[in-house]
Structure 1
Amino acid sequence: MYRFSNSVVGILNLFTIFISIPVIGGGLWLAKNSSTCEAFLQMPLLIIGFVILIISLSGFIGACFNIACALFLYLVIMLVLIFSLLSLTVFAFAVTSKGHGVQVPGRVYKEYHLNDYSPWLRAQVSKESNWRGIRSCILSSKSCSAIAQWTPLDYLEKDMTPIQSGCCKPPTACQYGAQGTVVMGMGGAEQDCYRWNNLPGVLCYECDSCKAAVLENMKRDWQKLSVLNITMLVILVGLYAIGCCALRNTRRAETDYPYGDNRMDKIRPRWDYRWWRWWYDWKERLF
């Protein structure tokens, strides 16, 4: 007879099998459409989708058909996934704890400084191979074309995204002469003042402020992902606990004794044996 924990594991894993299909499909779609800015997510999506599919199949087969080895494989992979997700969440919080926007006096938007962010993130975004792909993504997103026709009054009254603030204009501290020469750059923005160019394909894409804006977007996305990871951790720990009960039930179903080995060594049980057995049977029916 199937017990409650086996039924729960089977139903939930059948549900996650259907969930893994669109995840794998999304990864394949990103792999096919390499022009999208999310193309770098294709491998993680495919790996996550296939891992979910394997775990779900193992849990479903083991719980519904009382196959102990399949359930054992399900619990081992689930344990590895829990520790991996926990490590990723802790790492994400550690590298995104630093860095924030600085309010520009008299303006609505904020500006971002590269040195405010964690050394690991700065090292990743400063690699030429990584920045080349990120720069191409920013160019294809047309973020700067949205503010190309702004008037000076718009810059005073309107807000900007981090990419628009860091990549589409020079830092506010920069002051230029009549021939476009740099007159003054304050607050660590002097190098970015020289990197700025009015050409649509150049602008401030090589500025440190642009790299800082990318890190700000990455920080926000990672923090949202960390909240999702914590929710998934709680769900996975609950599933792991129910899976342990299902594995115990499956192993008992393979023996002649539904309650384990017969260890009774007395002809007449103790006076409270029947009450204890009633309580134990009730728990077994529930779990």
Structure 2
Amino acid sequence: MYRFSNTVIGFLNLFTLLASIPIIGAGLWMARSSTTCESFLQTPLLAVGFVVLVVSLAGFIGACFHVAWALWAYLVVMLLLITALLGITIFGFAVTSQGGGVPVAGRVYKEYHLEDYSPWLRSRIKDPRTWATIRSCILNSRTCAKISQWTPVDYLRNDLTPIQSGCCKPPTSCNYGADTVAVAQDGDCYRWNNAADVLCYECDSCKAGVLESIRSDWHKLSVLNVVMLVVLIGIYSIGCCAFQNTRRAETDYPYGDNRMTKVHPRWDFYWWRWLRDRREQLY
């Protein structure tokens, strides 16, 4: 029964070891694609895949073949992973606590304002290189093309995604009447253009729509991270038991029994004995 923890850790790491193969394969496949959105995810996927592969391999070897140093390395990495995941989860909840859409009178959809989001997110989305990548993704996804044939009635009846609301149309408050007295309007009203490759892609409302999509997904991911933390802490506890079992197996001590039937030296026993004999010869 006391080997149960080794068996559990072995099977869990075998499963994650096999799961890392398609993750790495997906990252390598994205390297062949010219689509900006897909290549944007390539590096994180490859990094996650290789980390999972190495950690799972260490845990599998340590648990199934009773290699104490491999299990020790596995536990150290797992502790670092739990700490990092905890920090990311706390940061994620802090970042996604601000934001959200503003209802529009007489419309189903909402509109989004950049100043409603956290300063950290705003600073990232305003970076020209970051926004150029995201803008290219939106264009390639043809998000605005899906509503390009809508009539004014469709805008009254149908809902819009945050990106469609911010990037595919000007703010609802804009007034483009030729005989209208000039009044101060939202700056996005002047950035809007009917050209399919321009629209409102440089508007603050477009950036806010992207941030709303990120905020929603990140908040869901943070909830999932909480579940993952509970699972990882449970696996780490089982791993500690497996490590203790592996240390006992090195000297063949039965659990709860002090009898010493056969002693198998540790992997470093002969090396230390050779070093001690050389030192005694010198002195």
Instruction: Determine if the TM-score, normalized by the shorter chain, exceeds 0.5.
Output: yes
- Mapped to 1, the partners of 2:123 and 2:202 lie a distance apart of 15
- Mapped to 2, the partners of 1:182 and 1:34 lie a distance apart of 48
In the other structure, the counterpart of 1:284 is none
Q: 1:257 aligns with which of 253, 258, 263?
A: 253
SS at match of 1:254: helix
- Mapped to 2, the partners of 1:214 and 1:146 lie a distance apart of 17
CA RMSD of aligned residues (A): 2.0
Kindly report structure 1 stretches of 4+ aligned residues shifted beyond 4 Å: 181-186, 259-263
Deviations 1:248-285 (A, max 9, x none): 0110111253348959xxxxxxxxxxxxxxxxxxxxxx
Task: Give the letter for the 1:90 counterpart.
Answer: I
Unaligned regions of 5+ residues in structure 2, if any?
Answer: 260-283
In the other structure, the counterpart of 2:9 is 9
TM-fit CA distance, 1:79: 0.7
TM-fit CA distance, 1:44: 1.3
In the other structure, the counterpart of 1:270 is none
Deviations 1:126-178 (A, max 9, x none): 00010111111111111111111111111111111111100011000110123
Pair 1:37 & 2:12 matched: no
SS at match of 1:258: coil
SS at match of 1:138: helix
TM-score by length of 2: 0.87
In the other structure, the counterpart of 1:277 is none
Deviations 1:23-73 (A, max 9, x none): 111222222223052432211111111111111111110111111001001
Residues 178-197 of structure 1 aligned to structure 2 (within 5 Å): 178=178, 183-184=182-183, 190-197=186-193
Q: Sequence identity of aligned pairs in percent?
A: 68
Unaligned regions of 5+ residues in structure 1, if any?
Answer: 264-287
- Mapped to 2, the partners of 1:182 and 1:159 lie a distance apart of 31
Q: 1:233 aligns with which of 226, 229, 252?
A: 229
- Mapped to 2, the partners of 1:13 and 1:86 lie a distance apart of 21
TM-fit CA distance, 1:183: 4.3
CA contact (8 A) 1:98 1:117 kept: yes
- Mapped to 1, the partners of 2:135 and 2:242 lie a distance apart of 51
Residues 36-75 of structure 1 aligned to structure 2 (within 5 Å): 37-75=37-75
- Mapped to 2, the partners of 1:166 and 1:239 lie a distance apart of 44
Alpha carbons of structure 1 residues 63 and 182: separation in structure 2 relative to 1, 3 Å: farther
TM-score by length of 1: 0.85
Deviations 1:210-235 (A, max 9, x none): 00000001011111221222222111
- Mapped to 1, the partners of 2:129 and 2:121 lie a distance apart of 14
- Mapped to 2, the partners of 1:71 and 1:166 lie a distance apart of 51
In the other structure, the counterpart of 2:121 is 121
Task: Give the letter for the 1:129 counterpart.
Answer: R
In the other structure, the counterpart of 2:239 is 243
SS at match of 2:251: coil
Q: 2:201 aligns with which of 198, 205, 215?
A: 205
Residues 75-90 of structure 1 aligned to structure 2 (within 5 Å): 75-90=75-90
CA contact (8 A) 1:182 1:193 kept: no
